[in-house]
Amino acid sequence: MINEKKMVAVLGAGTMGSGIATVMAKAGHSTMLFDVNEQNLQRGLDTVRGFFDVSVQKGKLTSEEAEAAKKTLNGTTDLHDLAPSDVVVEAIFEDLSLKKETFGRLDDIVSERTLFHTNTSTLSVTGIASGSKIPGRVVGTHYCNPAPLMKLVELADGRHTEQWAHEATLEFLTTLGKTTVVTKDRPGFIVNRFLIPWENSCIAALEAGLGTKESIDAAVKGALGHPMGPFQLLDIVGLDIHQQVATRLYEQLRDPRFFPPPMVDRMVAAGDLGRKTGRGFYDYENTRLFGS
């Protein structure tokens, strides 16, 4: 499988979905981005294409490479268009019932050997897999955000994931140039178990006046070697997404470190969600989620 180009369907054209679609298209896989909403779909497709345009401007891709990647990309609002898919990557809203229902509907559309990947990091892979008639083909693949820029993918098997699906997933992730770590099907996996409490502590430090957003971001990048500061990252992820993930992990783990600070609630209520709304911790003229 390693050198084969696949037909990959990405479900959900939001921040994660468009980022994952970018990864697939850049790797040369035939990529179909799906969303139930036409406006969201077009926004997602524009985000992917915009990433490649900026990559050319920055000298990270040639214009020929960018155009080749764009040609692999298509979009649809019809699940039946995903019938030829070799791999389906689900990156829709973090709702267990919705994810289960979506995989159940796809059972009757795609091949029995189509891999089902879920990008969740807060819900049970086993629970999501129970929506499919073939739970053995469902694997958790959590792409770190922003997916086109971050190398890491966490792989988590559900209780009934079969060995062929696990091995095929590892091989497929190799074609993307990703570093894969295998973890257990537990809330937050590895990354969000560490990241969410740390981000919450950075927000709390800002709220307490320990530093400015600029100084805290500079300290994290300069001393810890992170490629971006916590507030730059939160603006890309979206404050609404951080709120949802943090709250869901708190509900499962009952650890107060996961509970989002009050500033998060105020920012979400004000619509200051980050890059996608033009204002979060920082203000943005360019609302492109990544690549700029």
| 96-112 confidence digits (pLDDT tens) | 999 999 999 999 999 99
pTM (2 d.p.): 0.91
Q: What is the mean pLDDT of the chain?
A: 95
pLDDT tier, 43 (very low <50, low <70, confident <90, very high otherwise)? very high
Residue 10, amino acid: V
Residue among 8, 15, 11, 73 nearest 45 (CA): 73
Catalytic annotation, residues: 121, 142, 154, 192
Task: State the virtual CA torsion across 214, 266, 20, 66 in degrees, nearest 10.
Answer: -50
Residue among 156, 152, 151, 121 nearest 139 (CA): 156
3-state secondary structure (DSSP) of residue 2: coil
Contact (CB, 8 A) for 211 and 231: no
Q: What is the pLDDT of residue 287?
A: 73
Q: What is the pLDDT of residue 286?
A: 77
Q: Which domains does the chain have, with CATH numbers?
A: 7-183 (3.40.50.720), 193-277 (1.10.1040.10)
Q: Which two tokens stand for residue 101?
A: 């229902």
* CB half-sphere exposure, 213, CA atoms < 13 A: 13
User: Please, which residues bridge with residue 117 across strands?
Assistant: 89, 139
Q: How many residues does the chain have?
A: 292
Distance, in Å, from the CA atom of 266 to the CA atom of 264, rounded to the nearest integer, reads 5
